[in-house]
Structure 1
Amino acid sequence: MRILCLHGSGMSPDIMKAQMSTLRELCDPSWEFHFLAGRITCPPAPGVQHLPGPYLCYSADFDPVSVRAAQVLVQKEFETQGPFDGVLGFSAGAAILAGYLLNQRTRYPGKPLPVQFAVFCSAVPIVSTDPVYYQALYGSLSSEEEQMIRSGQLDQILKLREPIRTAVKAVATVTDTLKSILNNPPTHFLDRQPLEIPCPVHPDVYKARLNIPTLHIRGKKEPRSLKECALVLESFCSPSLRRTLEHRTPHSLPTSRAEVEDMLAAMEEVVGSDRRARL
């Protein structure tokens, strides 16, 4: 079984391999983890500064152009290194994979997804690259709403109408939480022309859904903004096919052996669900 893995911002395939060393040691020897490197250099993520770089990300600005480039990178990996049975992503890597799969579902609604299961760990907002969706969410902003967004101030953002408020709030709160990695304040991402603002998918507007078994892993002590992102991602996945697992380490993959064992058991359950579904 082959699993495509995407790291978080400020990490690298080698760092992710090190963080997954216990999982790789304990899992079935037939499981092959394939790691895809981001193409953009960035500051190191907290807690990995002691590990050798480079420190990489898939999208530095979360704008539609760079996120689309990241999804193209994933598509090329499927074409040149695939097939893959499943995907596993952490943080920004999880968001890129989720966005890629949702985009596949939107563009090719009659085709099966290119994988049979997905593991999403501590995802950040899933940014759409669909111009139709961008237009639906941001295309009718008034000048007053534009100023509220450009301010980057939460008290102003909360005055926006739904679903714009939820989408912009996600960008503002998460970029503030992760500013040590992103190296920019929320205004860097919000003080833009409307169709250049990061546009997180909202389940009330973006209709695509993932009908494959999914595992959602997050830290019990994750910042609230990141917990909300994880819940949004779960809402795009079939309730009957998804499983959620929490661990004690904030915004990280599970680290203790006991929690890695729990993660492996949950992954085996998700993989088993996929196999049963195909019988």
Structure 2
Amino acid sequence: MRFLCLHGMGVSSEIFKMQTAALRNELAGDHSYEFVQGHIECTMAPELEHISDVTKPHFAYHNNSPQSAIDALKDLDAYLTSESAFDGILAFSQGAGLALMYSRYFMNLRPGRPLPFRCLLLFSPVGLLDPVTWIETGKLRLLVDTASPLNIPIAVITGKHDLPQAISQTEDIHRMVQSDMGCWKYVHLGGHDIPNGKAKNDMRGTVRALRRAIAQADMMKRS
């Protein structure tokens, strides 16, 4: 599978490659990964503060304002339209929230057309506001309260000590997925981060959830 990879706020594509290196190695399989960096420079993500050799600068896809998020969705749409098809999106934090918002945005923009990817592998998604409600009414509503069910499988990974926003919104993401597609969740023992090779049980649980979503996507393709 070919995955589009979206990093979190205050990170970069290079850092996200390091954050996911052990995970991608463990996931194995015939997969390729394309990392796309945000263009808004911002302060470093708190989860990186303990790492002394983190490269700079750090980026975001949007600045957490609704209009900035809409602009990011338009940029992502243009990128997906211009590039060859991706099989899935692997994303963390703001990038994971952006992937979910884009799914809603695409379904409203092009009703009846299939999404330009077949599964979502999401880590600690945050910022889940409904872009369609904002565009149409100027009001802010949570995505989980408004979105039509997605017809692709999703895996959602969060930490036991994750951000409250990530924990609370993730609990409702299963309502955004058609029941026959599947939404696989795993809660690791860490915080707002991605399991690495040091936490072997967490890595196994994470990879199991991701593989289930990938297998479901492969079954859809063959049917």
TM-score (norm 2): 0.88
Partner of 1:149: none
Contact kept? 2:155, 2:185, Cα under 8 Å: yes
Q: Deviations over 1:174-227 (max 9, x none)?
A: xxxxxxxxxxxxxxxxxxxxx3x7543252xx2422111110110112243321
User: Which consecutive aligned stretches of 4+ in structure 1 deviate over 6 angstroms post-superposition?
Assistant: none
**RMSD of equivalent CA atoms:** 2.0
CA distance in 2, matches of 1:88, 1:35: 9
Q: CA deviation at 1:117?
A: 0.6
CA distance in 1, matches of 2:42, 2:173: 25
Query: Given the alignment of the two structures, is residue 233 of structure 1 paired with residue 173 of structure 2, yes or no?
Result: yes
Contact kept? 1:102, 1:209, Cα under 8 Å: no
Query: Given the alignment of the two structures, is residue 243 of structure 1 paired with residue 189 of structure 2, yes or no?
Result: no
Distance 1:5 1:74, change over 3 A: same
- Larger displacement relative to structure 2 (260-269 or 81-90): 260-269
CA distance in 1, matches of 2:19, 2:200: 12
Task: Flag the structure with larger Rg.
Answer: 1
CA distance in 1, matches of 2:212, 2:143: 28
Q: CA deviation at 1:236?
A: 1.1
CA distance in 1, matches of 2:134, 2:148: 15
Partner of 2:19: 19
Query: Given the alignment of the two structures, is residue 277 of structure 1 paired with residue 220 of structure 2, yes or no?
Result: yes
Q: CA deviation at 1:265?
A: 2.4
Q: CA deviation at 1:259?
A: 2.1
Question: How do residues 83-162 of structure 1 correspond to structure 2 at under 5 angstroms?
Answer: 83-130=85-132, 133-134=133-134
Partner of 1:267: 210
3-state DSSP of counterpart to 2:55: coil
CA distance in 2, matches of 1:54, 1:20: 19
The structure with the largest strand share of the pair is 2
Partner of 1:52: 55
The structure with the largest helix share of the pair is 1
3-state DSSP of counterpart to 1:47: helix
CA distance in 2, matches of 1:251, 1:75: 27
Q: CA deviation at 1:232?
A: 3.2
Report how many aligned residue pairs link the two structures: 216
TM-score (norm 1): 0.71
Q: Deviations over 1:40-71 (max 9, x none)?
A: 011101132431111110111322x2111111
3-state DSSP of counterpart to 2:177: coil
Task: Pick the aligned partner of 2:195 from 247, 254, 257.
Answer: 254
CA distance in 1, matches of 2:190, 2:48: 14
CA distance in 1, matches of 2:135, 2:154: 29
CA distance in 1, matches of 2:99, 2:65: 14
- Larger displacement relative to structure 2 (121-130 or 110-119): 121-130
CA distance in 2, matches of 1:25, 1:276: 23
CA distance in 1, matches of 2:165, 2:94: 14
CA distance in 1, matches of 2:64, 2:120: 25
Contact kept? 1:40, 1:58, Cα under 8 Å: yes
Partner of 1:201: 143
3-state DSSP of counterpart to 1:210: coil
Identity %: 24
